Structure 1
Amino acid sequence: MSTKRLAIAGIIAAALTLTACTGTGTPNPTGSAGETPTPTPSATAITGEAPADENEAIDQAEATIDLLLATQAEIGAAGGANPERYEAVATGKALREFQDDATRIAEGPILNEDGESIEGQSTVEGSLIFEPATGYGQEYEGIANGLVIVPGCLDGSQRKITTADGKPAMQNPNPRNEVEFHVIYNAETKTWLVNDRISLGTTC
């Protein structure tokens, strides 16, 4: 029974976190804000000098979130392969969470629509969309605006998981949820990284 509860928690987390496309709050080179873009290759991180002001920091943070979600979509489409790619765009709690999700896609268990816990590799189609509402910077390790907090709506309704038995995975009944991404600037590597993603406990 406890295994089933863990599996339920896993699929709900997966429904919220696995997959992605670029958000609408950042310039998108692959398409307009009104269409669903194809995720672009995400082998490199968002790098550069420390932000000159809060607006620049917010732009870099939103671009980093988009890059993380694009990487997530690619890893999901590849059946959870190469989760180490997240290290270029995430750190801390976010890195562990996204890599754990990749492991569930690659190996299971994930609940199917009948509530059965299924081991084995799942397939993923579609993507999760983040719609930033605003953003604000704070000092981080001596860098002005080195931490950017970006609240917004995370929409998992367009992402579909099929478990290894060929059945649709159990879906979160509330696919649109308010979250808050925390993005930090690493002064040593001059890299922006998503450090955390917090569920605010409300739908959107």
Structure 2
Amino acid sequence: MSIKRIAIAGIIAAALTLTACTGTGNPNPTASPTESPTPTPSATSITGEAPADESEAIDQAEATIELLLDTQTRVTEAGGTDTAAYESVATGNALRTYVADAEGIANGPTLNEDGESIDGRSTVEGSVVFEPETAYGQEFDGIANGLVIVPGCLDGSGRKITTADGKPAMQNPNPRNEVEFHVVYNADTKTWLVDDRISLGTTC
């Protein structure tokens, strides 16, 4: 593992105050019908002083992306009904995108493998993974390297969705796609937030 990846792993470990869910999001077969839904753990932000240089900004930005995807896993495995955790790790278009994803899991409609539109809560297993290809910083809101652009491959092949009728959801035939994450530093709150996720229209 590179020094950079070790640094990112350290940031993530420091940022998360709760362990990830060990369940799959499926109902517990031994649970009573009146058992309360699993609460969604809260995400913790990547925070700190403004980046000293581009390398530090990139490390913080990549850690923020990983935290966002970890938050997506936990929110959707818990049923997608509680999206508050996203507010500490995302903003702008990215926040809207991930909240909409959770609402789709919670309420549907979702296409099953037969192409039928199914209302109701889906269940989710697995995670979406992002593989950065490069990254570079730009000035943002008066902060040098306060915006970090991170192109890479978003891999959804490990995320499995089951619709409310118990059938697998229709899968994207191309689950690995090139995207570009935009991560910004909020100088007022000293917090890194994913601001956008742009599809580049190509597979990887």
Q: Verify same fold: TM over 0.5.
A: yes
The structure number with the bigger radius of gyration is 2
CA distance in 1, matches of 2:6, 2:150: 13
CA distance in 1, matches of 2:101, 2:173: 19
Flag structure 1 segments of 5+ consecutive residues without an equivalent: 1-22, 32-36
The DSSP-based 3-state class of the residue aligned with 1:27 is helix
Specify the alignment match of 1:89 in structure 2: 89
Specify the alignment match of 1:98 in structure 2: 98
Distance 1:144 1:183, change over 3 A: same
TM-score by length of 1: 0.82
Say if 2:66 is the partner of 1:66: yes
Following superposition, the deviation at residue 81 of structure 1 comes to 2.5
Q: Is the 8 A contact 2:43 2:88 kept in 1?
A: yes
Mean alpha-carbon deviation: is it higher for 40-49 or for 72-81?
A: 40-49
Distance 1:62 1:108, change over 3 A: same
What are the residue-to-residue correspondences of 1:9-24 with 2, within 5 Å?
Answer: none
Say if 2:169 is the partner of 1:187: no
TM-score by length of 2: 0.82
Following superposition, the deviation at residue 128 of structure 1 comes to 0.7
Following superposition, the deviation at residue 39 of structure 1 comes to 6.9
Distance 1:56 1:39, change over 3 A: farther
Q: Which amino acid aligns with 1:157?
A: S
What are the residue-to-residue correspondences of 1:116-131 with 2, within 5 Å?
Answer: 116-131=116-131
Deviations 1:49-85 (A, max 9, x none): 0000000000000000000000000011001021121
Specify the alignment match of 1:136 in structure 2: 136
Q: What percentage of aligned pairs have identical amino acids?
A: 73
Specify the alignment match of 1:27 in structure 2: 9
Q: Is the 8 A contact 2:43 2:67 kept in 1?
A: no
Following superposition, the deviation at residue 43 of structure 1 comes to 2.4
The DSSP-based 3-state class of the residue aligned with 1:66 is helix
Distance 1:121 1:88, change over 3 A: same
What is the count of residue pairs matched by the alignment? 177
Q: Which amino acid aligns with 1:125?
A: E
CA distance in 2, matches of 1:113, 1:28: 40
Q: Is the 8 A contact 2:12 2:67 kept in 1?
A: no
CA distance in 1, matches of 2:73, 2:123: 11
Specify the alignment match of 1:203 in structure 2: 203
CA distance in 2, matches of 1:24, 1:183: 20
Deviations 1:156-201 (A, max 9, x none): 0111000000000000000000000000000000000000000000
Q: Is the 8 A contact 1:25 1:132 kept in 2?
A: no
Q: Which amino acid aligns with 1:99?
A: V
The DSSP-based 3-state class of the residue aligned with 1:82 is coil
The DSSP-based 3-state class of the residue aligned with 1:146 is strand
Specify the alignment match of 2:35 in structure 1: none
Specify the alignment match of 1:150 in structure 2: 150
Say if 2:50 is the partner of 1:50: yes
Specify the alignment match of 2:159 in structure 1: 159
